[in-house]
Amino acid sequence: MSKRMIYLDNNATTPCDPRVVEAMLPYFYENPGNAASRSHPFGWVAEEAVDYAREQVAQLIHVDPKEVIFTSGATEGDNLAIKGVYEMYKRKGNHIITVRTEHKAVLDTCDHLEKMGAEITYLDVQNDGRINLADLEAAIKPTTILVSVMWANNETGVIQPMTEIGEICNRKGVLFFSDATQAVGKIPVDPKATGVHLMAFTAHKMYGPKGVGALYVSRKNPRVKVTAQIDGGGHERGMRSGTLNVPGIVGFGKAAELARLEMAQDAERLSKLRDRLQEGLMALEETVVNGNEAYRMPHVANISFKHVEGEGLMMTFNQTIALSSGSACTSASLEPSYVLVAMGLGDDLAHSSLRLSLGRFSTPEDVEEAITLISNGVNHMRELSPIWEMYKEGVDLSKIEWSEH
């Protein structure tokens, strides 16, 4: 057994690439300038570093550097985009369309706006986790100002039909925002070609530092404006005030450059590892893959093990493998994953799911060891389970009426 803990929670955060750390280090001490200090060389060096990083980030997603607004992360980006569009365009309308399986940063922002007078439509998803395009089209009305759909889901890795959504929004004259946190840096993402007008993403999901992200805001066809949510000093084209996190931004730029150069081979290697991991675990009986397998991120598998409680299962190997059941951002609660419930899974299957997300530093040895440890854990939990015993004896569990006492 390896003493090193196996890290399979790259959807929660990725380790910072050593090459990113190396690029950041000089900006903590040798080049300590504030990028807004225009009166001396320290400030100029910092400003130059930020400009270069902005170009690196813009190149990754094929946009103009002027369209990249630096933020503290994707949660702030989601808030700035959704609240900023709502305030800027509320004379046109107050209706926003989003999806039940969005990240909490989007859902909670929409919930906040609902209290402020916005009308929010929450689209259901199909059993494979993707939206029905006809439902989206039917939901758009004259007062609709924004459609918010995440590019790839954080729990299942399912990728939405982004180009088709973009076409519908374009035809209806509605702005299209995407939380692309899980997609940028892992698969090709081109908001302009896809018809996305605003897009939030973050460095720490692509081997960069935590605490820095970006919001892409289209400057032409259409020119989109958002109302600032943080005031004071007018940094970032007036959309996001605050002293820029220069070391973080430099690291974000380097991470974006590495992703652009290495994404294709990373994805190819990781999809093979993911398929091996999935195949190894699917050898267990009564095991289900959640989400559309054709349209999902190359490094993610969400698997339910029937008649096993996910949190309990994790206790069997939590000293050796880091992963999550349900959603990492809300894993403090023992509610079943709202994403899986929205996909039509019963509480039992939703509770028995594990999210396995590989990354740049995952090895074939990690995968083989994870298959062994998780399989042993599932078999151990099932041996202790009276429900599993009943299932093995052929009892139809759906027909049983459980007493309240």
What CATH class is the domain 6-12+262-393? alpha beta
**320, 4 contact by CB (below 8 A):** no
- Dump the DSSP string for 25-36: GGGTTTS---TT
CATH 3.90.1150.10 in the chain: give the residue spans. 6-12+262-393
- Two tokens, residue 288: 């289900």
| Average pLDDT of the segment spanning 95-119 | 98
| Average pLDDT of the segment spanning 220-233 | 96
Q: Please, what is the average pLDDT of the chain?
A: 94
Q: HSE of 367 in the Cβ direction (CA atoms, 13 Å)?
A: 23
Give pLDDT, residue 385: 87
CA angle, 103 as apex, 102 and 106 as ends, to 5°?
A: 80
Most confident of 189-193, 350-354, 390-394: 189-193
- Two tokens, residue 129: 């986790």
Band of residue 329 on the pLDDT scale cut at 50, 70, 90:
very low
Using CA atoms, how far residue 141 sits from 95, 172, 234, 363, in Å, is 8, 9, 34, 49
Q: How many CB atoms lie within 10 A of CB 196?
A: 26
Q: Which of 204, 237, 194 has the alpha carbon at shortest distance from 70? A: 237
Instruction: Answer yes or no: is pLDDT of 405 > 80.
Output: no
Give pLDDT, residue 1: 45
Give pLDDT, residue 311: 85
| Average pLDDT of the segment spanning 183-193 | 98
Give pLDDT, residue 197: 98
Percentage above 90 pLDDT, the chain = 88
Instruction: Answer yes or no: is pLDDT of 328 > 50.
Output: no
**pLDDT tens for each residue of 47-75:** 999 999 999 999 999 999 999 999 999 99
Distance CA(345)–CA(334), nearest Å, equals 16
Our answer to whether residue 329 is catalytic in this structure is yes
| Average pLDDT of the segment spanning 344-351 | 90
- At which residue do the structure tokens 């916005």 appear? 118
Instruction: Answer yes or no: is pLDDT of 98 > 90.
Output: yes
Band of residue 230 on the pLDDT scale cut at 50, 70, 90:
very high
- 178 strand-pairing partners: 199
Give pLDDT, residue 140: 98
Give pLDDT, residue 397: 74
Q: Which of 301, 183, 205, 206 has the alpha carbon at shortest distance from 262? A: 206
CATH architecture of 18-258: 3-Layer(aba) Sandwich (3.40)
Band of residue 125 on the pLDDT scale cut at 50, 70, 90:
very high
Q: Which of 16, 110, 169, 329 is catalytic?
A: 329
Instruction: Answer yes or no: is pLDDT of 331 > 60.
Output: no
Percentage above 70 pLDDT, the chain = 96
Instruction: Answer yes or no: is pLDDT of 298 > 50.
Output: yes
Distance CA(302)–CA(281), nearest Å, equals 11
- 199 strand-pairing partners: 178, 216
Distance CA(292)–CA(127), nearest Å, equals 8
Distance CA(87)–CA(332), nearest Å, equals 33
Which value, to the nearest 10 degrees, does the dihedral of the CA atoms of residues 231, 233, 236, 242 take? -70
Band of residue 177 on the pLDDT scale cut at 50, 70, 90:
very high
CATH 3.40.640.10 in the chain: give the residue spans. 18-258
Distance CA(30)–CA(44), nearest Å, equals 13
Give pLDDT, residue 195: 98
Using CA atoms, how far residue 315 sits from 74, 309, 347, 350, in Å, is 30, 10, 20, 17
Burial of 39 (C-beta count, 10 Å sphere; 0-12/13-18/19+): exposed
Lowest mean pLDDT among 103-112, 115-124, 165-174, 344-353: 344-353
